[in-house]
């Protein structure tokens, strides 16, 4: 995608608009009337206690779960009824809280799959995929960017936890998304790995819109500019990172002392 197009989109429509989105599982309402707007190019955080519905909200945005009611607009297009595959082709990428890579495939093959995801090559049947120069170049570039080059021929199952997290983000970025959903990129990382993950997130291209679920407030403060706070499937507060940190209600939710 060209920079011009990114600017045009940035000028014309927000990256994501949720309008009164609900998601019910039987009698349980996991997401209850969430509305939010994320401007193109923004760095946005979603926080809230465990079970607040953060990951469910991501699943509804990415299309892995259908919204029970409400509307979802991606870069000005209504995608509420669109399959997750088609949302990917509209520029949506995501990572998972529980990492989902391809364990028996090597790092090279993992990245190759992601690079091929939106290309015509994926139906090519009679030519070894490694002979496509553009695919190999894109794989090498991603590996370099995410410090995975020495591990290209190791199966993903052999990677350390930190490396798997990096691979996870690399898979999502391989499709050159315009909106990236990051589900707890810092979960389970050692302090050292956390530092490199933070550096990696801050290096992401500035025209990429980022929405991140994260518990680690230090990471949140460093990466995002604005925050929505979710509790029991509802938005209970939103504002800039500084405002949210000073918010009394948010502190109560996190300290568990709501009255």
Partner 1 sequence: MVALVVAAIIPQLGSSFYVSLTLSVLIYGLLAISLDVLAGYTGLISLGHASFLGVGAYGIAYALKIGLDPIPAIGYALVAVLVTALLFGLVAVRVRELTFVILTLALGQIVWGLAYRWVSVSGGDNGLPVPGRPSFGPFDFSADSSYYYLVLVVFVLCVLVMWLVVHSSFGLSLRGIRDNEARMRTLGYNVVVHKYLAFIISAMFGGVAGVLFAFYNLYVSPTMIDFAHNGTVVQMVVVGGLGTLWGPLVGAGVIVFFQQFVSIYVPRWETVLGVIFILTVLFARGGLWGGLANLGRWLRVRAGEPPTSGASTSQALTEVDAASGSGD
Contact residues toward partner 1 (CB under 8 A) are 62, 64, 84-85, 88-89, 93-94, 96, 100-105, 109, 112-114, 116-118, 121-130, 132, 135, 153-154, 158, 171, 174-175
Nearest approach in angstroms of CB 158 to partner 1 is 7
CA 165/CA 182 separation, integer angstroms? 11
Nearest approach in angstroms of CB 69 to partner 1 is 23
Backbone angles phi, psi at 152, to 5 degrees: -55, -35
Nearest approach in angstroms of CB 117 to partner 1 is 4
Nearer to partner 1, 109 or 231 (CB): 109
Nearer to partner 1, 170 or 189 (CB): 170
Q: How many CA atoms lie within 13 A of 251 on its CB side?
A: 6
Nearer to partner 1, 118 or 204 (CB): 118
Nearest approach in angstroms of CB 144 to partner 1 is 20
Nearer to partner 1, 159 or 219 (CB): 159
Structure tokens at 69: 């009611």
Q: 57-69 as b/e, with b when 16 or more CB fall inside 10 Å?
A: bbbbbbbebebee
């Amino acid at each position: 995608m060209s920079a011009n197009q990114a600017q045009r989109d940035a000028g014309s429509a927000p990256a994501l608009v949720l309008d009164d989105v609900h998601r019910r599982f039987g009698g349980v309402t996991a997401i209850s009337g969430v509305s939010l707007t994320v401007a193109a190019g923004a760095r946005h955080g979603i926080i809230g206690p465990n079970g607040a519905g953060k990951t469910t909200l991501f699943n509804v945005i990415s299309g892995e779960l259908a919204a029970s009611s409400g509307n979802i607009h991606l870069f000005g297009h209504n995608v509420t009824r669109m399959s997750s595959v088609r949302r990917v082709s509209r520029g949506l990428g995501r990572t998972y809280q529980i990492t989902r890579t391809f364990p028996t495939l090597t790092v090279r093959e993992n990245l190759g799959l992601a690079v091929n995801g939106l290309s015509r090559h994926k139906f090519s049947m009679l030519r070894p995929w490694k002979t496509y120069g553009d695919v190999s170049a894109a794989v090498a570039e991603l590996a370099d960017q995410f410090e995975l080059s020495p591990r290209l021929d190791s199966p993903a199952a052999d990677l350390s936890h930190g490396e798997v997290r990096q691979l996870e983000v690399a898979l999502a970025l391989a499709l050159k998304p315009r909106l990236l959903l990051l589900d707890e990129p810092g979960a389970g990382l050692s302090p050292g790995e956390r530092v490199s993950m933070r550096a990696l997130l801050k290096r992401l291209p500035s025209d990429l819109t980022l929405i991140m679920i994260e518990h680690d407030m230090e990471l949140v403060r460093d990466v995002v500019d604005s925050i929505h706070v979710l509790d029991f499937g509802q938005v209970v507060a939103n504002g800039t990172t500084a405002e949210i940190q000073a918010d009394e209600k948010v502190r109560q939710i996190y300290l568990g002392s709501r009255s």
